[in-house]
Amino acid sequence: MNVRRSFFPAALAGALAVQASLHVWFAVSHSATFDEPSYIAAGMALWTTGVDRQMFVHPPLAKRVAGFAALVAGADPAGAGDDRMGAVVLYRTNAGRAGRLLLAARLATMLAALALTIAVASWAREWWGDGAGALAAWLLAVEPNTLAHGGLATTDIWLTLWLILYARTLWSFLEGSGHRCPRETGGALAGLALGTKFSALAFIPAITVAMAAAVAARGRTVAPLKRLLRAAPRTLFVAALVLFAIYALQIRVFEPGYGRGGPGSWWPIGLTERPDLFLRLGLGWVARYARTGVPAFFLGAVREGRLPAYFPVVFALKVPLGLIGLAVLAVGWRLSVRRFGIRELGLALAFLAIFASVAASRLHVGLRHVHPAVVLAVLLAASLVGPGLPSPRWRRALALAGWLWSATTAGRCAPHFLASFNELAGGPGGGWRYLADSNLDWGQDLPALARWCRDRGVTSLPLIYFGVADPGWYGVPVSAENPESRDWRGGLVAISVSYLDGTLTNDLERFGWARALTPVARPGWSIHVYQAPPRPRPPRSTRARAGTAPGSRPRATAPPAPPPPPRR
């Protein structure tokens, strides 16, 4: 066997095996996040009725995938079209198989994450050789943010996959490397991205302009830009066709009563009811949401409005320093020896364009919104071991050290990869002091809390939880006591980080009494358990006026349910 020829396939296969194992470990260890039940319910509604009335804020493609996986796994779609949050369908209608349905929907996203690794590794190999392809595969296989969102039934990994494939196809067109039908392929990939998430409306032009500018700047000619403009009509036409198919075509095989009305009822394809509602309502809602935004916990304070530094800082705190270091080293080394070519320039400009496209955003809910930048950083890091640079042994040693550092970062929080932070933030235990929301807490750690309660014999625990998952389904012994009541006698209490950090209440002081305490446990890192002292009781006369008899204990009540946060 030719060892040189078998190196890359073996390295890629090993990376995929490790990545798949870590994805599954993450998926089976966590409860449904805030968004997942609604994705699954909306997807089932799309398959059975052709209409998604409860979650039009996102295009249908990823929801269709999640809903299809759940239906194949045996889901009962009854009531899916009316369940805005999805929790009723998942934890009541399908209570006996909720875990299986959630895992099935997550497995579909895992396939997208593995396809992303194959695409990135192949791209790096094409440009810089087998070593670069292997390094890219292994860096992505242990990148904790990719592992987390690649194990959830949401949109972010799907969007990254389409955008990376689009960027590679675009470059082949600009470079004139002879790929077949780059205009049509690029249009199809752009349509898939637009059918997955509305943020593609910003990312696709940003990547296109950045890569075209790189080619034009290096060649000192506008010929690539002219070619791009000439190809635009055909590319846009194909993208529009794909987008129309995603929105308007309804595969009817899951409709109740399909095929029971005779041969005329067997036609499997139809049109959805008012598909224009998706575009008008979806885009309109996103536009309003983008103008108003939501409060964000950022660097120790609740902030609103435009935060241009948000996503660069999140990237610096969430992405492993080993990966960041390799990318910076690769760029710096190539610049120092004047080997920073047009390809590296295109990737660097696309990386910067991702951040520039969200600089004016008012939506600051997590690194996942700029996840394509993480993959572009992986490609830049992989170029370190490419040809044309001196000291190949040193470069290989540095690449290995950077990968080991990245793997250690992921291992420190495994399998709770969503809570991963690098050393700048103090690791997973320190990240909650800087960031919240889907950077750390998306409602995913009920199983970890249930295990902690079982291991310590806790049979009743007040819980202030961010999420739509059912704590009882996962075995959390939730108490009806209200820890925010002045009549609470103290004791153990569990609070989600998104409440501690004021993300959901826009009030950092509301749970200041808990933030001042040292948690006795942090199951999964996103839920803190405190041993709280009794709250100060009001004077006797105040209690009497309030209608509480001296010495009596008020009836325990459940914590007030906060209004659900707006859709992310």
In one-letter notation, the amino acid at residue 469 is A
Q: Which residues of 242-275 are buried (b: 16+ CB within 10 A; e: fewer)?
A: bbeebbbebebebbeeeeeeeeeeeeeeeebeeb
- Cα–Cα distance measured from residue 336 to residue 389, given in angstroms and rounded to the nearest whole number: 10
Report the pLDDT averaged over residues 192-218.
Answer: 92
pLDDT at 431: 95
Q: Taking the model in full, what pTM does it have?
A: 0.91
Q: How far apart are CA 369 and CA 390, in angstroms?
A: 37
Is residue 546 scored above 70 in pLDDT?
A: no
pLDDT tens, 404-419? 999 999 999 999 999 9
Instruction: Round to whole Å and give the CA distance between 303 and 542.
Output: 36
CB 432 within 8 A of CB 464: no
pLDDT surpassing 70 at residue 543: no
Q: How far apart are CA 568 and CA 563, in angstroms?
A: 15
For residue 20, what are the contacts with CB-CB under 8 A and spacing of at least 6? 110, 114
CA angle 325, 326, 331 (to 5 degrees): 100
pLDDT grade for 182, boundaries at 50, 70 and 90? confident
**Do strands 463-464 and 491-496 pair parallel, antiparallel, or not at all (unpaired)?**
parallel
Residue 358 has φ and ψ, to the nearest 5°, of -115, 10
Question: What pLDDT is stored for residue 563 in this prediction?
Answer: 41
The pLDDT value recorded for residue 228 is 86
pLDDT band at 220 (very low <50, low <70, confident <90, very high): low
Specify the range with the lowest mean pLDDT, choosing from 94-98, 261-265, 435-439.
261-265
The CA distance from 278 to 298, in Å, is 32
Residue 16 has a CB neighbour count (10 Å cut-off) of 19
DSSP string for 473-524: GGT--B----TTSTT---EEEEEEHHHHTTTTTS-TTTTHHHHTSPPSB-GG
User: What whole-number distance in Å separates Cα of residue 164 and Cα of residue 191?
Assistant: 13
Opening angle at CA 198, ends 192 and 199, nearest 5:
100
Q: How many residues does the chain have?
A: 568
How far from 216 is each of 81, 174, 210, 245, 357, CA to CA, in Å?
Answer: 49, 9, 10, 35, 21
pLDDT tens digits along 518-537: 999 999 999 999 999 886 65
In angstroms, rounded to a whole number, what is the distance separating the alpha carbons of residues 300 and 297? 7
For the chain, the average pLDDT equals 88
pLDDT, greater one: 220 or 211 = 211
Q: Which residues contact 435 (CB under 8 A, 6 or more apart)?
A: 297, 298, 314, 317, 318, 421, 425
Q: Is the pLDDT of residue 561 over 60?
A: no
The two counts, helices (H) then strands (E), for the chain are 21, 7
Residue 259 pLDDT exceeds 90: no
With a CB cutoff of 8 Å and minimum separation 6, the contacts of 533 are: 490
Band of pLDDT at residue 567, cut at 50, 70 and 90: very low
The average pLDDT across 290-309 equals 87
Look up tokens 């690769």; give the residue.
Answer: 330
Kindly state the greatest CA–CA separation across the chain: 89
Segment 341-395, tens digit of pLDDT: 899 999 999 999 999 999 988 889 999 999 999 999 999 999 999 988 889 999 9
% of the chain beyond a pLDDT of 70: 90
